[in-house]
Chains A and B, each alone.
Chain A
């Protein structure tokens, strides 16, 4: 798994477009949000950071990489080795996840210095991990029906836009109205948790959103198990 991750990192460093897409885009968006609303209250911007990193650094790049590596039979070749399927998948996505974590930690650290740090750091970390895991699960599932790197530009739109859209909607309108719907939608409970973690939610109040987020993460990985394919369709 670590060997695959190492060589994925080498490949990433040799592709300027991937570097730009996975650093300039998400960091630029984080900066834009901070510039727009961050000076009033940092918590909504901070709550969006895991979603921005998940969508731009992990999800889109992972779907593109997996589809392209399946199409050129790189995945099949990896399965010719003694590495397990789980090890191969982890190796392929871990570089992206690590990059997302580094960027998210960096941005949140800057926010904490410029404004206020999160009231519940542990919960912030847990939510961040869950959101990234949610995107990884959806990436594997989406890659299953994405034929090529080119078609990833289309197939990634629903989940990428959907999750960010839901998170933005819940963040902007709050959960006082349509509470059940907002929490039940994928990412809705997670952004509620992220907001709470920054503002200081009690662990007891975090239980239900946490449970819903866990359920969505499980659904994403179940979808990945069902839809993910190792070889191009014959």
Chain B
């Protein structure tokens, strides 16, 4: 089956005066994917995202969405929903009016009441934006992005400021939209969300994508950790082990299955009791910390 690439980024450079925020980034996003762009503060992910959205022109390099320049608003925007990192709403308009306004301008058709309900704001439909909490404004932001079920949705820190229930509700809504074929590009500080929901992850650091792949692929390139308890001296353990407490040890391993087998064989040979044996794969947190060091 031929690939259907919605977003193509080649050697993207974004500069603000002398400051180079993005220094040569390349990646692509296929139709139906959820691609998470993660990074440390100042890594360049918002600049990259804003260039993909068409808010910013590249200093050099090329960016296309649906094969077009993202700055071709008339062609690209009716197919694109954008949830900005910060709200920008008229405080005196109500929630329903706001969704109707941005819905009408989106170039897509939908029922504003349905969208308000999907975003979890049905009870606030007639409330003015100035009276909403920060989390409710994020929901409103989400509502304007998903109006008319666009083919491509940008979610910039979608769950920042939302409680657990609201986060689950938002992700359930994203799953429904993805089920209808939408492609999602996400940035988030909640790494577990990227782990759970992203098909592929691009890890940015200092203006470049340092690693890219599915979470499994990323995790494979980092050692797993074997945790166990045994009343032995460090020197007697047949692997370089790190003490995490009295007789609590952790071993970094590239092949957890092999090393656990060898550890258990060693324990049997020496009649040593091993307790609390657990293998923990590298989490996105671990990968992220390693990357930013």
Contacts and interface: CB of A to CB of B under 8 A. Distances in A.
A93 to B, nearest CB: 15
Contact of B88 (A3, A72, A83): A72
Interface string B177-210: 0000000000000000000000000000000000
Contacts of B107: 81-82
Contact of A74 (B73, B82, B90, B106): B90
A76 B55 contact: yes
B105 interface: yes
A11 B84 contact: no
Interface stretch (B96-104, B159-167, B285-293): B96-104
Given A11-B93, A75-B88, A82-B107, 15 more contacts: A3-B105, A4-B101, A14-B92, A15-B92, A69-B90, A73-B86, A76-B55, A77-B102, A78-B105, A79-B73, A80-B82, A80-B144, A81-B77, A82-B78, A234-B16
B92 A3 contact: no
Interface string A211-222: 000000000000
A110 interface: no
A10 interface: yes
Interface in B77-129: 77-78, 82, 84, 86-93, 97, 101-102, 104-107
Contacts of A227: none
Nearest to B21: A234
A73 B89 CA distance: 7
B89 A11 contact: no
B136 interface: no
Interface of B: 16, 53, 55, 73-74, 77-78, 82, 84, 86-93, 97, 101-102, 104-107, 144
A4 B105 contact: yes
A81 to B, nearest CB: 4
Given A80-B82, A81-B77, A73 B88 contact: yes
Contacts of B102: 77, 80-81
A78 B49 CA distance: 17
Interface residues of A, number: 23
B160 to A, nearest CB: 15
Given A3-B105, A76-B84, A10 B93 contact: yes
A81 B74 contact: no
Contact of B53 (A74, A80, A83): A80
B74 A73 contact: no
Contacts of B90: 7, 11, 69, 74
Contacts of B73: 79, 81-84
A3 B112 CA distance: 15
Contact of A82 (B89, B93, B105): B105
Nearest to B77: A82
Contact of B84 (A3, A14, A73, A82): A73
B89 A74 contact: yes
Contacts of A234: 16
Interface in A157-205: none
A231 B73 CA distance: 17
A79 B55 contact: yes
Most chain A CB neighbours (cut-off 10 Å) among B77, B90, B144: B90
Nearest to A3: B104
B137 to A, nearest CB: 11
Contacts of A82: 73-74, 77-78, 105-107
Contacts of A231: 55
Contact of B105 (A72, A74, A81): A81
B22 to A, nearest CB: 14
Interface in A33-89: 69, 72-84
Contacts of A15: 92
Nearest to B56: A231
